[in-house]
Structure 1
Amino acid sequence: MGKNKGSRITITLECECRNSQNVQKKIIKRKNGISRYTTSKNKRNTPSRLEIKKFCSNCNSHKIFKEIK
């Protein structure tokens, strides 16, 4: 039988450029919309919010993506 995956949860990562309007004016936008990723994390090992550097298609560069609820 398989193990229970009770400690792993699915989270959504969102770019911080969505909240700051000043950054978007300086950078040429590639397309409209929100850049988001989904991943899973172990809530026992990582109880705090996750931050990962990934590619943002909205900014056309690598940015820090933060976990949202």
Structure 2
Amino acid sequence: MAKNGKVTITLECTSCKNGVNQTFRGISRYTTRKNSRNTPSRLELKKFCPYCYKHTIHGEIKK
């Protein structure tokens, strides 16, 4: 059986992680899949953060 190279990754809000928004206690996280052969570097997508209440950059993190 062939391996497809897809892995499940977690995306985390970079604004909440850096402590920009200290009034709310939480970090927005999303899960998605990526092809590790086509995208070997860390993935960054613009997603909606309910804690910042705006679209921010969400970066790939280690589990």
- State the SS of the aligned residue for 1:17: helix
Q: Equivalent pairs: percent with the same residue?
A: 56
Gaps spanning 5+ residues in structure 2: where? none
Taking the aligned partners of 1:51 and 1:19, their CA distance within structure 2 comes to: 14
| Number of the residue aligned with 2:57 | 64
TM-score normalised by L of structure 2? 0.83
For residues 1-69 of structure 1, the aligned pairs below 5 Å read 4=2, 6-21=4-19, 23-25=20-22, 29=24, 32-69=25-62
Q: Is the 8 A contact 2:7 2:36 kept in 1?
A: yes
Change (3 A) 1:5 1:40: farther
Whichever structure has more strand as a proportion of its residues is 2
- The 4+ residue runs of structure 1 with deviation greater than 6 A are none
Two-structure CA RMSD over aligned residues (Å): 1.9
- Could you say what secondary structure the match of 2:26 adopts? coil
More helix by share: 1
What's the secondary structure of 1:24's corresponding residue?
coil
The number of aligned residues is: 62
